[in-house]
Structure 1
Amino acid sequence: MKNKLRIIGGDWRSRQLSFVDAPGLRPTPARVRETVFNWLQYEIVGKQCLDLYAGSGALGFEAASRGAKSVVQVENNTQACGCLKDNAAALSAGQIKVVQSDVLRYLAGEPQAFDVVFLDPPFGLNLAVQTCRLLEENGWLAKHAKIYVETERNFKWSGMPANWRQLKSKSAGEVGYHLFERTE
C-alpha cells in the first residue's frame, strides 16, 4: 500500500487516503494516531482544528472524521496540497480547508483561535519550538487549546511558551509525540 493510509476512527473509518512522495513527508503511523486520538477523544467533537505541516493530512482527516467542526490544513508543497484537496473532495469533507502556504508565513497572518493544533514539522529543521512560539505569541490559540507536537525522539524543548504544560509524551521508533495544553 505505497503512498496510502487508512483513517482509523470516526465517520470515515477504514477509508483510504493517497499522498505524494515528497521530501520530509512522513505520515503519522496508525498506532501513533490511535494513541493521539485516545488522548484527545473528548477534545475534537465540534472544535476548530489547525493541521500545520499537513503533509499527508492524516491528522487533520482523522480529526474531521471524529467530529471536528472545521480543520484548516496548511502545507507548502504544491503536490501535497493537490492530494489533500482531492482527498477532501473524495470524502465530501466540507469542513476541511486546505491552505497552500509556508507555515511560518501563515502564522504571521491574521490569527484565528483554534481549539486543537496538530504540529508535525519536517525533522532536522528546528521548526517545532519556533512554530509553537508563533502560535502563542500571534494569537492562534483558544484559552485552553491542546497542541499535539511530533518531533525527533530526542528533541530539545528549550524555549517553549511558559504558559504551556505537557500533558502526555511518548515515543515510537525515532519519533517523539507530545500533547501540550495552553494554561492561560
Structure 2
Amino acid sequence: MIRIIAGKHKNRIIPTLKNSNYRPSTGKIREAIFSILTSGEFSDGRLFTKESKVLDLFAGTGSLAFESCSRGAGDITVIDINADYLRAAKAFASKIGEMDKMTFLNINATALPKCKNSFDLIFIDPPYYQNLVSKAVNALKKGQWLKDGTIIVVEFAKNEHLTDDSLEMVKEKIYGDSKLLILRS
C-alpha cells in the first residue's frame, strides 16, 4: 500500500497494479526524499509551488509525482513506458481532482524527445540493476529537459553508479539496498 505522506492529499492511498513486477519507492525512502527537499537549502519551499515544474521518470504508480502535487507543485509530468501504470495513475489523478496539473506520457525515459520547457525538479527511479540512470540523464540533457539549477533526485541500487561528472552532488544517502542521490544541474 502506497500512501501520500503530506500535504493536501495526505493519507490518500495510491492504487497499485496487482501481479506487477513494479518496485515502488518505500515509504521510508519517500519520506527521506521529501524531508531533504523541504529542509536545509530547500526550506524556502520553491520546489513545490504553483509555478514548479516537476518530472517523474520511470513513474510507475506516480507516487513521487502525487506526493509533489499534494505538497503544492503545479505542473507535473509523469513518464512511464508501461501504459497500464499510466492508466492507473491517470485514473487516480482524476479521482483526486488534479488532472489539470498533470501530464501523462507513455514514452521511454531513456529516449526522450526534445523538450519545450525545462524542469525545476526531476525524479529518476528506474528498475534496479538495468543501468538506466546514466541513460536517462543523457536523454534529459540531449532533449534539453534540464535547466541551470534543476534538482535531480535519483533512487537506484546502492551498488549501481551514475557516470556523469557534469552534475553537482548535493547529497548521497544509503537506505538498505537503495542509494539516494540529490544532484543539481
* TM-score, L = length of structure 1: 0.89
Partner SS state of residue 88, structure 1: helix
Q: Which moved more, 1:27-36 or 1:144-153?
A: 27-36
Which amino acid in the other structure matches residue 20 of structure 2? A
Deviations 1:103-124 (A, max 9, x none): 123x133442000000011112
For 1:66, the equivalent position in structure 2 comes to 71
Q: Which moved more, 1:135-144 or 1:117-126?
A: 135-144
- State whether structure 2 residue 125 is matched by structure 1 residue 120: yes
1:143 is matched with which residue: 145, 148, 169?
A: 148
Question: How far apart, CA to CA, are the structure 1 residues paired with 2:115 and 2:158?
Answer: 32
Contact 2:170 2:182 in 1 (8 A): yes
Question: How far apart, CA to CA, are the structure 2 residues paired with 1:57 and 1:63?
Answer: 10
Question: How far apart, CA to CA, are the structure 2 residues paired with 1:100 and 1:137?
Answer: 19
Identity %: 26
Partner SS state of residue 104, structure 1: coil
Question: How far apart, CA to CA, are the structure 1 residues paired with 2:128 and 2:94?
Answer: 29
- State whether structure 2 residue 16 is matched by structure 1 residue 16: no
For 2:49, the equivalent position in structure 1 comes to 45
For 2:30, the equivalent position in structure 1 comes to 33
Question: How far apart, CA to CA, are the structure 1 residues paired with 2:116 and 2:110?
Answer: 12
- State whether structure 2 residue 125 is matched by structure 1 residue 109: no
Deviations 1:38-89 (A, max 9, x none): 2112322231000000002110000011111111000111211111011101
Residue-pair matches, total: 175
Deviation, structure 1 residue 102: 1.6
Partner SS state of residue 149, structure 2: strand
Partner SS state of residue 31, structure 2: helix
Structure 2 regions of 5+ residues with no counterpart?
39-44
Deviation, structure 1 residue 167: 0.7
Contact 2:153 2:181 in 1 (8 A): yes
Which consecutive segments of 4 or more residues in structure 1 shift more than 4 A?
none
- State whether structure 2 residue 114 is matched by structure 1 residue 97: no
Question: How far apart, CA to CA, are the structure 1 residues paired with 2:13 and 2:184?
Answer: 31
Instruction: Say what the alpha-carbon RMSD is for the aligned residues.
Output: 1.4
2:167 is matched with which residue: 154, 164, 168?
A: 164
Contact 1:44 1:116 in 2 (8 A): no
Structure 1 regions of 5+ residues with no counterpart?
none
Which amino acid in the other structure matches residue 106 of structure 2? Q
* TM-score, L = length of structure 2: 0.89
Contact 2:109 2:139 in 1 (8 A): no
Task: Name the structure where strand makes up a greater proportion of residues.
Answer: 1
Contact 1:26 1:56 in 2 (8 A): no
